[in-house]
Amino acid sequence: MTYTWTTAEGDVFALPAPSVDVGVADDTVGTVFDKARRDLGWTTAQLARQAGITASTVGRILNGSRPPSAEQARRLSAALGVDVVAGA
């Protein structure tokens, strides 16, 4: 399974599903990033620093209240070491 989303800029991205079930109601792009963050043992603030994104924005992405922009997805992916596929 792959999670796909379209950014406000119109870019389409995809992330592979996490290796464990994160729950039907919680299956969002943010939960994939959140699982990777938890797997590393990082806090939201640590991820925000590594990605160069404000902690409040990262929190909203992780809790699913907003999708990441193309640049935010790239930064989060690089910080977490997960692959994001553009144009999926």
Residue 11 is encoded by which pair of tokens? 């870019």
pLDDT band at 3 (very low <50, low <70, confident <90, very high): low
Tell me the pLDDT tens digit for each residue of 32-45. 889 889 988 999 99
88 with 12: CB under 8 angstroms?
A: yes
Structural domains for the chain: 2-86 (1.10.260.40)
Q: SS3 helix, strand, coil % of the chain, rounded to 5?
A: 50, 15, 40
* 6 vs 62: CA distance, rounded Å: 16
48 with 70: CB under 8 angstroms?
A: no
* 17 vs 83: CA distance, rounded Å: 11
Full-model pTM:
0.72
